[in-house]
Structures are given as C-alpha cells and as structure tokens.
Structure 1
Amino acid sequence: MNKLCQLLNIQNEDDLFESITNTFKEKITQWDYFVNWKKVLANIAPIEKELHLLNFLIGKDDIETEVFNLIKEYPKIVKTFPVLIAIRELSVDVLIDTSDFIYKKYNFNCEITDEICIDLTEFFIHSGLADLIKSKHVTNFVDYVLGVEVGLDSNGRKNRGGSLMEAIVEKYVQETCEEMDIAYIPQATTSKIKDTWGIEIQVDKSSRQLDFAINKNGQLYFIECNFYGGGGSKLKSTATEYVKMHETWNAQNIFFIWITDGAGWKTALKPLREYFDKTDFLLNLEMLKNGVLKEIPQYNGL
C-alpha cells in the first residue's frame, strides 16, 4: 500500500488520488506575480539619460537628419535602440534581400563611425521608430520604455509562478521544521548538504538542486514543488523525471516528497497517477494546509 495511504489511514488508493486531484488550486496569483517592478526600474536606470536625449526628436520634421546628428553627437543613445523595439540582443540580423537571402547586421554595441552612424539611422527609420515619433503617440521615451519593460517582464511570469509556489511551500516547511525542531535547507545542493550536515549524497546529475532538504536526526527528506496552471507536455515529462528521482533517493534511504498543484494536471492525470502508483509521497497545497507535511517525519510506519 502507498505510504501516504498508510500515513492518512486511507485503505483505497483510488480514493486518495481522487482526493488529491479534486482539490487542486486553479491559481496561486499573488501581488508580486504581475510585474517585477524592481527589475523593470533597474533596467531603465542605466539608459534613462539617453532616453531623455531621444525626447529631443519628438516634434521634429526631418527625423532622419536629426537621428543621425543625435547619434553622431551622443553615441551612447544607441544602447537604447534594442529596448525601443522590445528586444534584449545587442545586435540584430535583418533580411534585406529575399531573392538572394542577404542579411545586414546592426550592432548596438560598437564604436560609432560615420558609416555605422548611417546604418543605425537607417535602422531607426526602417524599424518604425521614426513613424512612431511622427504619429505623436510618444511624448516621453522614458515612459515609453517603462511600458516596453513591463511587457517584456510579462515573459517572466512563468518563472514567477514557480517562485510563488516555492514561497508558499516554504512557509509550511519552515513551520514544520520549527515545530519539530529540525533543520532544513532551501535550494539544497550536494555541497550545501555536506557542508551543513556532513552527509554525502549521490546525485543523478551534477547540477541537481532541490527545492528543500529536511534533516531529522540524519534522516533526509527531499522536497520538490511546482505549480501548473495550464497543460502541456512538460507535465508528463516532469512526472516521469520525478519517478526516477524518487528511485535515486529511495536507493539512498532518502524520502522524496513531491508537492505539486494546479489545474493543468486535469489534462495529465495519467502520468500523475503513474507517479502516484510508483512512489510514496504526492502532496498538494490543500494537504499542506491540512497539516499532512507535519505528519510525515513523525510516522513510525516509514
């Protein structure tokens, strides 16, 4: 019988799995999920002066001449060009001839010669930035880039979702360890575990980093956690990977606890059930709320 069933005194594994999957949370959105304002403002700070210089172009008629002269006099404004078109790269290759597939490279991090100045003026014009200025929709480039940075930052929401899950789980890990007077390490690696507790472990890959490691009198418990708001192939591959991870830790007398949640699992119940059937501890946030994590290190039946 599944160890979790023994722990919770549940005779039917189907009932336990159904209970887990029926209590998945739809979302764990918190205030710091939407925008990482600290990062956004930090990205603007190094180029704020140059953005103010670009404001000189607003209202000008001969944009091409003014851009050339501005680059010539203040070459550092070029470092603002990537973010103006919402990219992070320091150079771009543009296909300028589709017949012979000829590309032209525009480098935003080089010495500004007259030839480069002409090229970068060309980039500014043909990328649509000149038309944007003429349209009078931009009245301040600092404000404009603030909006661009917010948009670019939205790409990091997937990672923030994972960080939010770790933060929520750590609250329960910390409470459990404080209540039981045992130690834990967040973002645990082999070196951290050895340096802190003097315990050597074998890992399946050198870069392995565990979300949490708990030590109760030399008995280790490893925790991985994640949240999937949407479906996809990642869920199946994660479940498969974690079965192997369980086997790796189990062979070293280490208990592996996987805490996962999210409505995305509704689309991947089969691989999740395979993990459940082959391993010991599959928990979700509702179970943490109900104190299940605190029961695991105390269960003598293990």
Structure 2
Amino acid sequence: MNKLCNLLNLKNEDELFDKIKHSFKEKITKWDYFVNWLKVFSNIKPIEKELNLLNFLIGKEDIEKEAFDLIKQYPEVVKAFPTLIAIREKSVDILIDTKKFIYKNYSFTRKKLTDEECKELAYFVVNSGIGEILRDKKVKNLVDYATGIEVGLDSNGRKNRGGTLMESLVEEFVADTCQNLGLQYLAQATSKKIKQHWGLDVIVDKSSRQLDFAINKNGKLFFIECNFYGGGGSKLKSTATEYIEMNRYWNKQGIEFIWITDGAGWKSTLKPLREYFDKADYLLNLEMLKNNILTEILK
C-alpha cells in the first residue's frame, strides 16, 4: 500500500488518488506573475538615449531622408531597432526576392557605418513599418512605445514564471517544515552542492541534473521536484513518465523522491499521473502541503 495511505489513515490507494485529483488548484497567480517590471526597465535603460534621439523622426514627412541623416550622425541609434520591431535578435534576414529566395541581412550592432549601410538601414526603417508610425505621429514618445513592446515581449515569459511561482510556493512549505523539524534543505540542488554542504555522495544520471529541493534528515536524503500545469498537453505525460524513472533511480540509492504537482491540466490527463502514483511512494499537491503532509513524511 502507498505510504501516504497510512499517513493519512485512508483505506486504500483509490481513495488517496481521488483525494489528490479532486483538490487540484485552478490558478496560483500572484502579483509578480503578470509583468517582470524590473526586467522591462532594465532592457529599456541601455537604449533610452537612442530612443530619445529617434524621437526626432516623429512627424517628419520624408522619413527615409531624415532617418538616413540621423543614422549617419548618430549610428548608435540602430541598436534600438530590434526593440522597435519587437525582436530580441541583433540582426534579421529579410527575404527580398521570393522567386530566387535571396535574403538581405540587416545588422544592428555595427558602431561604424558607411553611407551605403546608413541608406540601407533608413530603408529598413521605412519598410519595417516604423517609418509610418513615426511620420503619422501614431506614437508620441519612443521610450514609452518601447516600454510597451517590452511588456509584450515579457508576457512570453509567463509560462516559465508559472513554474517559478510553483517553486516559490513549495519552498515556503519546505522552509517552514525544515525549520520546525530542525532539518536542512537546498534549493536548486546538484550533486556538487550536496557534497559541499552535507558531505554526501549522490550519483546523478546526467551532469546537468538539478533538483528543485533536497532535504537532509540525519544523512538520509529526500529529493523534491515540483511543477504546475494550468493546461493539458503531451508535456504532462512525458513528465510523469520521466518521474517514474527518476523515482526508481533515486530509490536505488536510498533516496526518497517526492513529486509535488498541481494544476487544472491534470484533470484531463489523469492516466499518466495514476501510472506514476501506482509506482511511487509520494505524489503530493498543494492542498496536501497545506495540510502538513510534508511534515508527516519527514518526521
């Protein structure tokens, strides 16, 4: 019988699994989920001067000529171009001949530009659409515009922030539990860190292996991995399959493995979760952490 059944005084594993699947959280959104403002403004600061120089072009009729003159006098302004078109790359290849598939490369890193390169970059301003919004005064300040672009680009990081949020939530419980029980833990634990801090040897399956948390109970290790899935998909199945093997691998070394997962995504992907549950000792969710089950496991 699953070890958690005994800890929770449940009759059988089916009752335990029902308890898990009926208590998944829909959301774990916190204030810092929406926008990483520190990152947004740190990306704007290095190009703020260049954006203010480019403000000169707002309202100009002959944008291409004015852009050429500005780039020739202040070639550093081109380093702001990627942000203006909402990309992270420092150069782009534009398909200019669809018959022969000929590309034109535009680089935004050169500090010295020839007249021909200034002309090409002015042409880029016009044809990328930047010229039109400047000429027609559709933006009033490029620093403000670029800040909006950075907010939009930062929204792509929300998927990763979901994982970070889960880790921060779990760490609150891990830290409190370890403090109450007089145990030590490491976040983002590697075999090297475990050896350095605790003098314990761990054989890893790959050199890059990093555990969300490792807990040391008088020389016995507990490894924790955590994740949150707001939506379904193949990732959930592959994670469950990977963790079945991970659980077996750590158990062979006498290490207990605890998987803490949550999210509405599991409601439509229960089969692989059940497969893990049937082959491992510890499957927890946030509701179980709230009810101090981690303390019961570690006592």
1:17 aligned residue:
17
1:168 aligned residue:
169
1:54 aligned residue:
54
Deviation at 1:118, TM superposition (A): 1.2
Distance, in Å, in 2 between the alignment partners of 1:51 and 1:275 is 53
Deviation at 1:4, TM superposition (A): 1.4
SS state at 1:122 partner: helix
SS state at 1:179 partner: helix
What does the per-residue CA deviation read over 1:259-295, in whole Å, with 9 as the maximum and x for residues that have no partner? 0000011121000000000001000000000000100
User: Which runs of 4 or more aligned residues in structure 1 lie more than 3 Å from their structure 2 counterparts after TM superposition?
Assistant: none
SS state at 2:106 partner: strand
1:192 aligned residue:
193
2:8 aligned residue:
8
Distance, in Å, in 2 between the alignment partners of 1:99 and 1:163 is 46
Distance, in Å, in 2 between the alignment partners of 1:9 and 1:288 is 16
1:106 aligned residue:
106
Deviation at 1:6, TM superposition (A): 2.0
Matches within 5 A, 1:284-295: 284-295=285-296
- The amino acid of 1:184's aligned partner reads Y
Deviation at 1:5, TM superposition (A): 1.3
What does the per-residue CA deviation read over 1:171-201, in whole Å, with 9 as the maximum and x for residues that have no partner? 0000100000010001100000000000010
Matches within 5 A, 1:4-83: 4-83=4-83
What does the per-residue CA deviation read over 1:41-74, in whole Å, with 9 as the maximum and x for residues that have no partner? 0000000000000110011111111000000000
Distance, in Å, in 2 between the alignment partners of 1:107 and 1:119 is 10
Deviation at 1:113, TM superposition (A): 1.2
- The amino acid of 1:180's aligned partner reads L
SS state at 2:215 partner: strand
| Paired-residue identity, % | 67
- Count of residue correspondences: 298
Deviation at 1:78, TM superposition (A): 0.2
Distance, in Å, in 1 between the alignment partners of 2:160 and 2:99 is 41
Distance, in Å, in 2 between the alignment partners of 1:158 and 1:144 is 24
TM-score normalized by structure 2? Answer: 0.98
Return closer, same or farther for 1:297/1:4 CA change in 2, 3 Å cut-off. same
SS state at 2:103 partner: strand
CA RMSD of aligned residues (A): 0.7
What does the per-residue CA deviation read over 1:141-191, in whole Å, with 9 as the maximum and x for residues that have no partner? 000000000000000001111111011100000010000001000110000
Distance, in Å, in 2 between the alignment partners of 1:36 and 1:294 is 33
Structure 2 alignment gaps of length 5 or more: none
Matches within 5 A, 1:132-151: 132-151=133-152
1:213 aligns with 2:214: yes
2:125 aligned residue:
124
Distance, in Å, in 2 between the alignment partners of 1:107 and 1:141 is 20
Deviation at 1:9, TM superposition (A): 2.0
Structure 1 alignment gaps of length 5 or more: none
1:91 aligns with 2:91: yes
